[in-house]
Amino acid sequence: MRSLIDIAELSIEEIDELLQRAEDIIANPKKYAHACDGKKLATLFFEPSTRTRLSFEAAMYELGGNVISMASAGSSSATKGESVADTAKTVSCYADVIAMRHPKEGAPYVASINASIPVINAGDGGHNHPTQTLADLLTIYREKGRLNNLTVGFCGDLKFGRTVHSLITALSRYTGIKFVLISPDELKLPSYIKKDIIQKNNLEYVQTTDFEAVLPELDILYMTRVQRERFFNEEDYVRLKDSYILTPDKMKLAKADCSVLHPLPRVNEISVAIDNDPRACYFKQVFNGKIMRMSLILKLLEVEV
Ligand code: CP
């Protein structure tokens, strides 16, 4: 039995297999319509979500399976003091696979060592979000036709943005990747990722506050929201929230084939005027997220199609 807590648990070969399966699901959806007949997914979300929870649920329905859902911590026995471990043991009696989001880093890991079914990390605090990374990788692969030889810019909240941490971890294993890290000083990438992932693997990177100076060199621009829910005080959030706003004027500086990604939700950091720019890929990412979650569910449940 296999869970997915950190994207680093998947080898490049396994990611490639998930991507190829995703392409097949897109091309032949009917082939998969009964792949998970009789199986149940439990979505346990202790933190708000639109895309991740609904895409997991849509993924399981499109595979012919069923869903049981806990959409908020407030509607669960966590409010009475039940532990994550006991919740995982309990839900193992009802479902075949769990997708869990939790504000505490490591909570899905605790669930995975207590559950008797696979647990998928659907985002844990400011730590990791491996299935968003799978969506991001499919989007980059479909836009660029490759996952190597790319200059990838991450812009915004690189400190608390868990999608950034997971995507850097995943891309660090491909060749010819250069990272451009654009953030205010207070929201820089955590040093454990810079040291243990980027520097340890001798990857090329630059760290800057000057968005416009580096924008012309990017193949991929990964914009992020400043993560209000992770701040200790509102004043800091208000001061930093609009540090970087991508506007049509700024897009004039970008390459003609620069792909703009964002895990969403968006607040102000991408002007809606960019949504019709052919380089805007963030709603493609939403679709790709559902497909990659289908691909992952099939893998973890060891379903042969
Ligand atoms: N990208 C993402 O995790 O979105 P939600 O918070 O809406 O699930």
Beta strand pairing call for 97-102 and 177-182: unpaired
- Do 170 and 116 have their domain in common? no
Structural domain of residue 72, as residue ranges?
A: 7-128+289-300
* CA–centroid distance, residue 266 to ligand 1 (Å): 10
Structural domain includes residue 305: no
50 CB less than 6 Å from ligand 1? yes
- Do 151 and 190 have their domain in common? yes
Mark 18-53 as b/e (b = at least 16 C-beta within 10 Å): bbebbeebeeeeeebeebbeebbbbbbbbbebebbb
* CA–centroid distance, residue 51 to ligand 1 (Å): 5
Token pair 């810019």 in the structure block, residue: 153
- Do 136 and 277 have their domain in common? yes
- Do 118 and 86 have their domain in common? yes
pTM, two decimals, is: 0.96
Structural domain includes residue 76: yes
- Do 112 and 136 have their domain in common? no
Structural domain includes residue 2: no
- Do 163 and 260 have their domain in common? yes
Cis upstream peptide for 265 (omega within 30°)? yes
How high is the pLDDT of residue 301? 98
Per DSSP, the residues of 112-143 read HHH-SS-EEEEEETTTB-HHHHHHHHHHHHHH
- Would you state the torsion angle of the CA atoms of residues 212, 173, 286, 296, taken in this order, to the nearest 10 degrees? -170
Structural domain includes residue 256: yes
Just list the catalytic residues. 51-52, 80, 101, 129
What is the chain's pLDDT, residue by residue, as a tens digit (305 residues)?
999 999 999 999 999 999 999 999 999 999 999 999 999 999 999 999 999 999 999 999 999 999 999 989 998 999 999 999 999 999 999 999 999 999 999 999 999 999 999 999 999 998 999 999 999 999 999 999 999 999 999 999 999 999 999 999 999 999 999 999 999 999 999 999 999 999 999 999 999 999 999 999 999 999 999 988 888 888 888 888 888 999 999 999 999 999 999 999 999 999 999 999 999 999 999 999 999 999 999 999 999 99
Give the DSSP letter of residue 197: I
29 CB less than 6 Å from ligand 1? no
266 CB less than 6 Å from ligand 1? no
CATH number of the domain to which 277 belongs? 3.40.50.1370
* CA–centroid distance, residue 202 to ligand 1 (Å): 31
How high is the pLDDT of residue 228? 87
- Do 38 and 76 have their domain in common? yes
Structural domain includes residue 108: yes
**Number of domain units in the chain:** 2
- Do 53 and 172 have their domain in common? no
* CA–centroid distance, residue 222 to ligand 1 (Å): 15
Nearest CA to ligand 1 atom 5: 49
Radius of gyration for the alpha carbons in the chain, expressed in angstroms and rounded: 19
49 CB less than 6 Å from ligand 1? yes
Phi-psi label, residue 288: left if phi above 0, alpha if psi -120 to 50, beta otherwise: alpha
Structural domain includes residue 198: yes
C-alpha span between 305 and 285 (Å, rounded): 25
CA angle 151, 223, 45 (to 5 degrees): 120
Give the DSSP letter of residue 239: H
With both helix axes pointing from N to C terminus, report the angle between 12-27 and 282-300 in degrees, rounded to the nearest 10: 110
224 with 269: CB under 8 angstroms? yes
- Do 262 and 138 have their domain in common? yes
Structural domain includes residue 231: yes
248 CB less than 6 Å from ligand 1? no
Beta strand pairing call for 150-155 and 220-223: parallel
- Do 91 and 198 have their domain in common? no
Structural domain includes residue 1: no
State which amino acid sits at residue 259. Answer: S
- Do 117 and 134 have their domain in common? no
How high is the pLDDT of residue 97? 98
CB atoms under 10 Å from CB of 80, counted, come to 6
- Do 64 and 88 have their domain in common? yes
